[in-house]
Amino acid sequence: MDEHKQQNMQEHSQHMGQKKDNHAQHGAMAHEDHSALDAHQGHAMPAPPTMGQEDHSAHAGHGADHSGHEQMFRVRFWWSLLLSIPVLTYSEMIQEWLGFMPPA
């Protein structure tokens, strides 16, 4: 039994030695060429906008006019709010919370 255990331990240590060799080879290969990394570091990322500033850099290229969008979304909000009232009125959960029954 002891011989079998010793043989297993020797096989295990040999296997671990092979793993270390493979890892060392991989590490040497992985650190050979940094030219792609150096080229990538040359590109600077723009700083994020500070509080109170807006960042419109993503919209700069398409040339679309966004004037009037605020008014359009405001109108949509009010219509959505108005149309949600009947839905909420007939919701069973809202009826339970407020303790009322909607008209039939």
Give the C-alpha separation, 85 to 83, whole Å: 6
For the cut 60, the answer to whether the pLDDT of residue 2 exceeds it is yes
So what's the pLDDT on residue 7?
Answer: 77
Domains of the chain: which residue ranges?
A: 69-104
Q: Which amino acid is at 49?
A: P
Q: Which residue in the block uniquely carries the two structure tokens 């240590």?
A: 13
The residue-averaged pLDDT of 24-39 equals 55
Q: What are phi and psi of 56, to 5 degrees?
A: -110, 20
Average pLDDT over residues 10-29: 63
pLDDT confidence band for 3 (50 / 70 / 90)? confident
Between vectors from CA 79 to CA 86 and to CA 59, what angle results, nearest 5°?
A: 140
What pLDDT is stored for residue 73 in this prediction? 96
Question: What tens digit of pLDDT does each residue of 36-89 get?
Answer: 555 556 555 666 666 666 666 665 666 778 888 999 999 999 999 999 999 998
